[in-house]
Amino acid sequence: MILPIPHEFAIGGVYMPPMLVAGAIAMIATLATSRLLDHYQWTRNFYYPPLVLLALMVIYTVVIGTFIVGA
């Protein structure tokens, strides 16, 4: 059985596209990951930490959009 992909989410009567929801969840996951990386001082090993965090944001958005929102 194939589940239909939602065309929009209704949160409080406001319709939002699925990628916006996936991006918001990915932002929260990236902030949590960056706090962990800062706490254990792993960010000092990166050449340019903002680029690493941007890459994490993109990875989280794709994974959340593919497996959670699109499921």
pLDDT at 49: 93
pLDDT at 66: 87
pLDDT at 37: 95
Q: pLDDT grade, residue 70 (50/70/90)?
A: low
Cα–Cα distance for residue pair 43/33, rounded to 1 Å: 11
Q: How far is CA 24 from CA 41, 44, 53, in A?
A: 25, 26, 14
What mean pLDDT is predicted for residues 5-10? 69
Q: pLDDT grade, residue 12 (50/70/90)?
A: confident
For the chain, domain boundaries:
16-69
What mean pLDDT is predicted for residues 23-45? 95
Q: Is the pLDDT of residue 9 over 80?
A: no
DSSP state of 8: -
